[in-house]
Structure 1
Amino acid sequence: MPVRLSVCMITKNEEEFLDRCLSSVSAVADEIIIADTGSTDDTVQIAKKHGATVYPIKWRNSFSAARNLSISKASGDWILLLDADEVLEETDIPLLREFMNTTSCDGCNFTIINYIGRTAGGLHTMHNAFRLLRNNGLYRFEGAIHEQIIRRDGKPIPAGAIETSSIRLYHYGYLDDVVRRKQKRKRNLPLLLKELNADPQNPFLMFNLANDYLACGEHEKALKLFDRAYHKMDTTQAYAPHLVYRRAVTLYNLGRYDLAAKAAQDGLNIYPACADLEYLLGTVFSEWGRYTLAIDSFNRCMSMPKPPDSLRFMQGSTTLRPLMALGNLYLRLGDYSRAYDAYAAVIKKDINCCSVLYQIGKVLNHIYADKATVVKKLIGFFLSPDYTPNLILLTDILIQERLYSQAASCCEKAAEDLSYKQDTDFLKANLYFYSRKFGEARRLFEELVSQEAASTNVLQNITCQSAQYLFVISLIEGKTVLDSDLALVERYCDRLTYRVYTQVRNVLNDRDESVFSPDESWPSVLTEVGRLFDRVLRTGEFDLFERLLYLLNWVDSKAVLIELAQVYLDNGYPGMAREQVLRSVKELDYLNPAGLSILAQTAGIPRAST
């Protein structure tokens, strides 16, 4: 007889994610139990639509109390513990069924893929977390936050009672806008501090509190706690490898590369199968300027076997990641032949890794003065170059490389297939924009923001990018009232992009105020600012570009002048690029590997003028 599964959850104001979460388990859940701690939005209605039984409870500053109530109501043989901002991977449902029907264990850790940064589907971290419990009445949870499973009789959980599986849950709650909007860290910190005050020698509590400080950007506070926990940890505990890894990451983020390298190497001595630590070591060496050591580490990664789930914090550390890192390092060093070989090896391993094609286009553009050869070599990486999605991708790469006439030819051919009209209209609008035909560009971008995104689109974020281009066109046209353009950015882009463009408006209208917060994701802000600068400079709008430079005064990052230098270099002003790197060293006492690379590429070049 098949086993029954109860899904048990805690919710409060989760209408944004709950429908997707519950839909992901509809094929496997026999009942859904929800302990709701005071939702004022549509959470309860959404839960009931999925057939859930909802128990309203008073929040008592304890996740364990709420968790224990929810599992006490479960009638299934097994209990799946979910958070509302998680989604079960559909293709892993057979694996979940097999586990429940065959195992003699009492529980299972799943692989949690935590999306971070601005958008889902890109940057992520991974960890293992307890998510499946046999409903035999032997267990309960304790701890106000980051609750832990224990036996009710106080006995230790026997070795082997809890397995670790590759069953995947996708977690969306750590995306920048979600964290900012829900202020989870402000909720978590008081609970963790209270628990640590009650048990000040508990390394697991230190670890969890350090994680919250790290997420808030308070790296020094995080490091102190990671250090304390590290010297008290039991290396056999499930959290210990994560502690070792995040301690090394924190040192790296603080720029203490010597200590970060030592922390990563010490971690490898404890967990030699952890390829993520080896990859981190290579990354540290690369940023430290120890390029030979970095290359050695990345090559060692590729000789290591796939690590066990308990020692895996990201995907691809033995395959694509080190190859991409080698390609990027060789590109930075100007060794274009080796960069090309590394990127080509990525495509050989994963033909669907489209992002590497942009890097290949960049390398080929450096290697060959004859741009027809660049196009021919690039086309060689497409199995079916006449296939419309491939033509679209090829056109976009050529636009990025400023090969506009070649891009126009590809775009014209792609436009014959009306199934991809939004893609080709967007590419045409780009070509108009960079040809300074702003009226034609505006017409197409306005059409694009008025349309629903087509399911066939090859290019991502067409509507968002179109809104950004419309904003820039208004700047070029000399508009001073930008409310309607800003409204489009707010509607179609993420909150960080909206804040950047709002700050642009403030700067150009001489408003001495900042829309940024102290805990802003400054690297992401700087990336968005650099993209804006590049679009303006590529059109030759030098006066507007000079006015926009005041935006950098509002960006709290030492890397501002290096980012500006990269924009100058990409647009053919090597002397200006070199000058900004030297300014960074003199005025900010800051030089990173990107800056070093720019200095190497511009050696002997006199100052250029815009």
Structure 2
Amino acid sequence: MITISLCMIVKNEEHTLARCLDSVGDIPDEIIIIDTGSTDKTKTIAATYTNHIFDFQWCNDFSQARNYSFQQATQDYILWLDADDMLQPEERKKLLQLKQTLQPSVDAVSMLYHVAFDEYQNVITDTRRIRLVKRSKSFQWVGIVHEDLQLDTTYVHQASDIIVTHASEKKTKSRRNIEIYEQALRHNQTFSMQDVFHYARELTVHGEYEKAIPFYETCKTAKEISLENRVFVYHQLATCYAMMNEIEKEEEITLQSFQLDVPQPVFCCRMGESFIRKEQYEQAIFWYTVALEMKPLSRYEWSIQQDIYRTWLPHKQLAFCYYQLGEYEKSYHHNQNVLTYLPDDPDTQKNVAFLQAVQQKG
């Protein structure tokens, strides 16, 4: 059986740290906590779980802090988590089984990451990340913010179905990440393509769409960007243009995305929306149906997935389109499907009640 060091970097995480550590239980053989300047009870809480607590002088670079945490590890493998991550009980069982059965020839294990949820606890954003690595392989963290693990040589990877859940209690968007990037720019720090990609994402999240566009344009042709992330770049570009009400540019980017790979659900939905704007409902139905029927491609697990484009959103738009065409039974069917994801959605509930009445009269 392998041994595991859990490595974490923390700052002012008194509300979530215990939950995270309790969720993994005694599976880690050692816990390494790197504190980057807490002023609350974080270190006191950490001390009830481990003696391995280290201070790190914050330098506006998450990868340096992560690498420092890995340097303190002494066990066979290193697991990393953030303080607002956790494992649900079933996932903890899977992690224990992995610990008991993992072959020493495996250098890295990836896990699914459920990043964000809606009010009904449907997963709305998810991805896959390397979570467990062999210490002797000396994986390195790269990236100022939204850091990632890299190894310059080939390595043996195992994909796990373990799910790590991001359960942040922070309700407001912090500008911390943007400020870190912009300080680096002011100091003429060289950005990796990963940094460019994530800086553009941060700008988009904070509504700075026009500023984000040239950074996405840089990523469009960069060889360092994987196919699945390149497709995501096109999605983000289209989003920026849509939010700036430059609809022709949004549609242009959507069509360009089809040259990269088979049409992904997000772009199928964009095509559907384009035809709705033109009141061409049959064409819109075609694209929303494709979005629903497309089977997920495993390689896209490594990109940022937004599940609404293959779940309730196409159903909601199909319900609207069929209603416009007078096909009330089909509209009713798709409204009912929306309620399986959004059971308390008032508009959909009204639609269902109205369509029931229409069908009864008919």
TM-score in same-fold range (> 0.5)? yes
How far residue 106 of structure 1 moved from its aligned partner, in angstroms, is: 1.8
**Which structure 2 residues correspond to residues 325-336 of structure 1 after superposition, within 5 A?**
325-330=317-322, 336=328
Q: Cα 1:89–1:212, aligned 2, differ >3 Å: closer, same or farther?
A: same
Match of 2:318, as an amino acid?
L
How far residue 217 of structure 1 moved from its aligned partner, in angstroms, is: 0.8
Q: Cα 1:328–1:23, aligned 2, differ >3 Å: closer, same or farther?
A: farther
SS of 2:18's equivalent? helix
How far apart, CA to CA, are the structure 2 residues paired with 1:67 and 1:341?
A: 49
Deviations 1:493-543 (A, max 9, x none): xxxxxxxxxxxxxxxxxxxxxxxxxxxxxxxxxxxxxxxxxxxxxxxxxxx
How far apart, CA to CA, are the structure 2 residues paired with 1:98 and 1:243?
A: 37
Preserved CA contact (<8 Å) 1:141 1:150: yes
How far apart, CA to CA, are the structure 1 residues paired with 2:51 and 2:137?
A: 22
Is 1:131 matched up with 2:131? yes
How far apart, CA to CA, are the structure 2 residues paired with 1:355 and 1:27?
A: 39
Match of 1:365 in 2: 354
Deviations 1:433-474 (A, max 9, x none): xxxxxxxxxxxxxxxxxxxxxxxxxxxxxxxxxxxxxxxxxx
Match of 1:211 in 2: 201
Preserved CA contact (<8 Å) 1:17 1:85: yes
Deviations 1:57-79 (A, max 9, x none): 21122222211121112222221
Larger deviation: 322-331 or 38-47?
322-331
Preserved CA contact (<8 Å) 2:272 2:288: yes
Preserved CA contact (<8 Å) 2:145 2:198: no
How far apart, CA to CA, are the structure 1 residues paired with 2:159 and 2:266?
A: 18
Is 1:255 matched up with 2:251? no
How far apart, CA to CA, are the structure 1 residues paired with 2:214 and 2:336?
A: 42
SS of 1:269's equivalent? coil
- Greater C-alpha radius of gyration: 1
Is 1:274 matched up with 2:264? yes
How far residue 128 of structure 1 moved from its aligned partner, in angstroms, is: 2.9
How far apart, CA to CA, are the structure 1 residues paired with 2:279 and 2:26?
A: 51
How far apart, CA to CA, are the structure 2 residues paired with 1:287 and 1:14?
A: 46
Q: Cα 1:294–1:257, aligned 2, differ >3 Å: closer, same or farther?
A: farther
How far residue 205 of structure 1 moved from its aligned partner, in angstroms, is: 2.1
How far apart, CA to CA, are the structure 1 residues paired with 2:133 and 2:318?
A: 42
**Which structure 2 residues correspond to residues 2-17 of structure 1 after superposition, within 5 A?**
2-17=1-16
How far apart, CA to CA, are the structure 1 residues paired with 2:302 and 2:33?
A: 29
SS of 1:124's equivalent? strand
How far residue 239 of structure 1 moved from its aligned partner, in angstroms, is: 3.7
Q: 2:332 aligns with which of 317, 331, 340?
A: 340
Deviations 1:563-592 (A, max 9, x none): xxxxxxxxxxxxxxxxxxxxxxxxxxxxxx
**Which structure 2 residues correspond to residues 517-596 of structure 1 after superposition, within 5 A?**
none
Match of 1:199 in 2: 190
How far residue 172 of structure 1 moved from its aligned partner, in angstroms, is: 4.1
Match of 1:157, as an amino acid?
T
Match of 2:38 in 1: 39
Unaligned residue ranges in structure 2 (runs of 5+): none
Percent identical among aligned pairs is: 23
Q: Cα 1:332–1:37, aligned 2, differ >3 Å: closer, same or farther?
A: farther
Q: Cα 1:241–1:80, aligned 2, differ >3 Å: closer, same or farther?
A: farther
Match of 1:87 in 2: 86
Match of 2:48, as an amino acid?
K
Preserved CA contact (<8 Å) 1:8 1:34: yes
Match of 1:267, as an amino acid?
S
How far residue 82 of structure 1 moved from its aligned partner, in angstroms, is: 1.1
**Which structure 2 residues correspond to residues 135-284 of structure 1 after superposition, within 5 A?**
135-151=135-151, 156-158=152-154, 161-173=156-168, 176-177=171-172, 179-180=173-174, 183-191=175-183, 193=185, 197-199=188-190, 202-234=192-224, 236=226, 239-272=229-262, 274-284=264-274
How far residue 209 of structure 1 moved from its aligned partner, in angstroms, is: 1.0
Preserved CA contact (<8 Å) 1:13 1:41: yes
Is 1:96 matched up with 2:88? no
SS of 1:83's equivalent? coil
SS of 1:125's equivalent? strand
SS of 1:301's equivalent? helix
Deviations 1:178-223 (A, max 9, x none): x24xx4335433355358x4336x4322211101111111011112
Q: Cα 1:20–1:204, aligned 2, differ >3 Å: closer, same or farther?
A: same
Deviations 1:360-416 (A, max 9, x none): 44332366279xx79xxxxxxxxxxxxxxxxxxxxxxxxxxxxxxxxxxxxxxxxxx
Preserved CA contact (<8 Å) 1:192 1:208: no
Deviations 1:143-183 (A, max 9, x none): 333333334xxxx332x644554432232459542x24xx4
Preserved CA contact (<8 Å) 1:261 1:285: no
Q: Cα 1:99–1:223, aligned 2, differ >3 Å: closer, same or farther?
A: farther
Match of 2:153, as an amino acid?
I
Q: Which has the higher contact order (CA 8 A, sep 6+)?
A: 2
How far residue 261 of structure 1 moved from its aligned partner, in angstroms, is: 2.9
Aligned CA RMSD, in angstroms, stands at: 3.4
- TM-score, normalization by structure 2: 0.82
Aligned residues: 357
Deviations 1:131-153 (A, max 9, x none): 221211432223333333334xx
Q: Cα 1:268–1:39, aligned 2, differ >3 Å: closer, same or farther?
A: same
How far apart, CA to CA, are the structure 2 residues paired with 1:188 and 1:297?
A: 40
How far residue 345 of structure 1 moved from its aligned partner, in angstroms, is: 4.7
Preserved CA contact (<8 Å) 1:6 1:79: yes
Preserved CA contact (<8 Å) 2:219 2:230: no
Q: Cα 1:209–1:231, aligned 2, differ >3 Å: closer, same or farther?
A: same
